[in-house]
Amino acid sequence: MEESKNFIEHIIDADLKSGKVKEVVTRFPPEPNGFLHIGHCKAIITNYNMAKKYNGKFNLRFDDTDPSKEKMEYVESIKEDLKWLGADYEDREYKASSYFDDLYEAALKLIKKGVAYVDDLSPEEIREYRGTLTEPGKNSPYRERSIEENLELFERMRQGEFPDGAKVLRAKVDMASPNMNMRDPAIYRIVHKDHYATGDKWKIYPLYDFAHPIEDAVEGVTHSLCGLEFEDHRPIYNWFLEQLEWENAPQQIEFAELALTNTVLGKRRIRPLVESGVIDGWDDPRLATIKGLRRRGYTRESLFSFFEMTGLSKSKSLVDISMLEHALREDLKLKTPRVMAVLDPIKVVITNWEEGKVEWLTAPNNLENPELGERQIPFTREILIEAEDFMEIAPNKKYKRLVKGEEVRLMYAYFIRCNEVIRDENDKIIELHCTYDPETKSGSGFEGRKPRGTIHWVSATEGAEAEIRQYGYLFETGEDGEPQINENSLMVYPHARIEPYIKSLKKEDKMQLIRLGYYNVDPKDSTGEHMVLNEAVSLKSSYK
């Protein structure tokens, strides 16, 4: 059966066959001005997978051309994210700032060719002269400066003689172009600010549209794969390479960026939530940042699987977040142990069990995957069950939990019968007195009678305490159709009880809590004395 290929693979196949390209080289060029999100993840995985498939090279390049926003903190964060994703760039870590001399020389070449000029218009005037989508722009009155004057002014810009915004270097392209990006885009602007990598060496910094194609060319990138938002920028990408007469120039290829339901990726909306403390930083598990996804419990395998399911397209579409959740369930279902936990406990005293006696029961870690082995669960006189798993009188025949006067099976243990209900002064149920039948031990082959149902439980004296966090979507659609904050996106159970098995787990270990969902040991807040579990994804799925 012939392998199905996406449109990018067809382009690469043709380039290799024609000899246009000898070796495939791709890159991921993040600006180190914030934390990566799932949209960046798609770009990383797409570029990495293409290089890997064709036995090529994958580069990491920090597009650090704006000293006002960039920090080493973000550089290190991005490198950590790529390492976690398994996108191995080997020793090919580059920075745009390493090419500042090359970029400056390229700008000089454009000036000497007569296709770049220093403009004195203010930013507001440049916008006014630029025109609109329906009206052409107007030439700047400084557009026809001589080459000599432009070279002199550009050198004085470099020396720091002018204040920020006083002048810019622009490409001389076409102010009447229907593509706004071709209307004499800025190449260099003045910024009197130290750069995290180059210090105070430069007073001028290149703009992205100018730097991007040159950086690709310097690194020998063959296929510059990027989001569809850069499609209108491709003509100027090619224009710069043509004007600079670059041989074996890279080609830019766009694919549809990721848009997820119930998800907001923009820093503009998220930053105020971080700064005001509404959410727990950029790694809050409700965010679709890579750090947030990892902290919540997403695996690299689930993300790779998700992007394989969504595929690569040239047209933008909205992907239901349930598909992402489905990918995680599918990845975790055979990998994780299935453990009992009680969030809202009610105490059960087994009156015919000897006080102080502990029986260790054997339970499979995962019925679907015997290779995960078995664990021991302590059974004691006092146990805890979920409050919702008991009613004095069953509402109907479909109620398969504990009812006064009837039996249920305790998972991996015995049948118990509720005989007495203890209430406090406010008539709230605080304790159940039950008896167990020693002949009904799980695994004994007992088939004498059929209990109402099976419920899970935890030893009240031997179980471990943990804080369990459950999540809804951070954003929901408001009445005006715009995303708004979901005030109920976090539910915390500070004193949940779980099998003591979890004491052996480490940060970022995962498990299924029976009847609840898949959980991740929080790498940020968990300590040896205080275990915190984040809900990665519920058991129920709406994905078809």
Domain ranges of the chain: 7-255, 260-340+463-544, 345-456
Tell whether the model's pLDDT for residue 109 goes beyond 80: yes
Which tokens go with 392? 């004095």
Q: Distance between CA 370 and CA 242 in Å, rounded?
A: 61
Angle between helices 38-53 and 300-310 (to 10 degrees): 80
CATH of 260-340+463-544, one of 3.30.450.40, 2.40.240.10, 3.40.50.720, 3.40.50.1110: 2.40.240.10
**pLDDT recorded at residue 484:** 86
Over residues 48-68, the mean pLDDT reads 97
- Taking CA 228 as the corner, what is the angle to CA 223 and CA 230, rounded to the nearest 5 degrees? 75
Parallel/antiparallel/unpaired status of strands 359-364 and 531-538: unpaired
Question: Which CATH architecture is the domain 7-255 placed in?
Answer: 3-Layer(aba) Sandwich (3.40)
| Digit-coded pLDDT (tens) for 203-236 | 999 999 999 999 999 999 999 999 999 999 999 9
| Digit-coded pLDDT (tens) for 409-429 | 999 999 999 999 999 999 999
The pLDDT-based confidence of 2 (bands split at 50, 70, 90) is low
Q: Cα–Cα distances in Å, from 275 out to 73, 271, 288, 356, 360?
A: 17, 6, 17, 51, 49
Are both 260-340+463-544 and 345-456 of the same fold? yes
- Average pLDDT for the chain: 94
Q: Kindly state the percentage of the chain with pLDDT values over 70.
A: 99
CATH of 345-456, one of 2.40.240.10, 1.10.274.10, 2.40.110.10, 3.40.50.1820: 2.40.240.10
Higher pLDDT, 247 or 146: 146
Tell whether the model's pLDDT for residue 38 goes beyond 80: yes
Q: Distance between CA 404 and CA 468 in Å, rounded?
A: 29
- E strands, 320-463, in order: 338-339, 341-342, 345-350, 359-364, 374-379, 382-386, 390-391, 402-403, 407-410, 415-423, 429-437, 454-455, 458-459
Tell whether the model's pLDDT for residue 267 goes beyond 90: no
Would you tell me how many other CB atoms lie within 10 Å of the CB of residue 166?
Answer: 12
The pLDDT-based confidence of 360 (bands split at 50, 70, 90) is very high
Ramachandran category for residue 297: left, alpha or beta (phi over 0 → left; psi -120 to 50 → alpha): left
pTM of the entire predicted model? 0.91
**pLDDT recorded at residue 542:** 54
The pLDDT-based confidence of 478 (bands split at 50, 70, 90) is confident
For 260, the enclosing helix (H) or strand (E) is: strand 259-260
